[in-house]
Structure 1
């Protein structure tokens, strides 16, 4: 009999047992897959191209991965925009998404090319079967890095995702998360406001610490005209919810970046104030964590 080495256990707090798994939310992104695929395209939206993709590559720092061809997992990969960018950088990429329609779109966009990408339909909240054991044919300890870009706020609960990431990463592997900034972009509880006395564009936040589940109308213009529109679900959480649950899973944040919009306002009397507000109030939050 050949002895097998058991995968290391993901650390959990010693004082309390692990929480009972919560039933994952059903994805609603399949309903908007065609629109989303067209919106993002091959190279990404304007925000992808100008802010997100360059920022993710900086945080991954692929040049420091010396174990051969970097192997990366993109969780909730959508139609594969980040997977394609990573593969073009010379990475072996696995992309997973719970929406079969988006995985189909990703495969269509990769047909005929030689990029090293393996797309699979899989739910990130169900990847873990037991501590140190993962489902969907993903081998523990086999990835140099994991990315979760503009999708963690569509997932609940967080802990099963983090424990799966811990299991799948190599020792000292990297997790990069990008999200809408939870301190300033809170659906129904944050907005821009023009302050007439100070002549400033200001960001107003009316609620932050309370977690909330919010339905987001994909095409509000259609809904306003009574035409109906698909919805997706956004889970707002305060920043501490991410930092603390990551730490509980043995993933410790070593960098936090706040990215602003690259856009500028049209010429006019408010242009300087509008541009200043965009430069000061970040649109995206990026976290990098390491497996410890």
Structure 2
């Protein structure tokens, strides 16, 4: 594995399919956009040079996003590319092909959000910093295992436990929620290249002896987030996040998989992120939600 990467970014290709090879800068669609609009000089997730993460530019809007994630996502363009340039957050365990899940206790990070150049840029640091306590869900490409996730997430976390799960941008990948009835906890899984043969792959994955006890209780797949946008009909990608809401009174709370649809505005912004924008001519809501229902 070539270092730590966050998210399942894949280069979009011309409709109706989606290209799903190793993460890289997006390929031009047909007809080709101008070179100035093509993302450049950025890498996905944590895979970026540098000894430590630079200070995030822009206005700090962490409290706005943390207090109302869906509301903030409905009014702002979220950007999860290059969330931690310089290396893995301290204390975070990483899955691999032989061990696709890490325990939730070993996935805790601190999430922050800063508005810059029209985007709400999400960034993570190690646990215990000032910001939103969250779980980080790693990404493995097809050649590295394809499945990566966290397990042991409380079905109903206490106020002092993380109530957010973050992963990277989706463009052909999927996010699944799984319930373990033996201990009544949740697992979350980042599934690379789902658009190729995802339903059968998930079925095979859950048939393995170590996974048979897990039951699927919600999925966010390309059928939910990949839609034509703009005059060329370029398929949208998504910025996913998973959050827990506690209603008023004594009613039980619930986890929800959320995904904000987006497309590329330009690339090469400071900090190694492409600049994203709200898609045009969408026939579906800008923010998609999938309830997690054990």
The answer, yes or no, to whether TM exceeds 0.5 is no
The structure with the greater share of residues assigned to strand is 2
TM-score, length-normalised on structure 1? Answer: 0.30
Give the structure with higher Rg (CA). 1
The structure with the greater share of residues assigned to helix is 1
- Considering Cα pairs closer than 8 Å and 6+ residues apart, tell me whether 1 or 2 has the greater RCO: 2
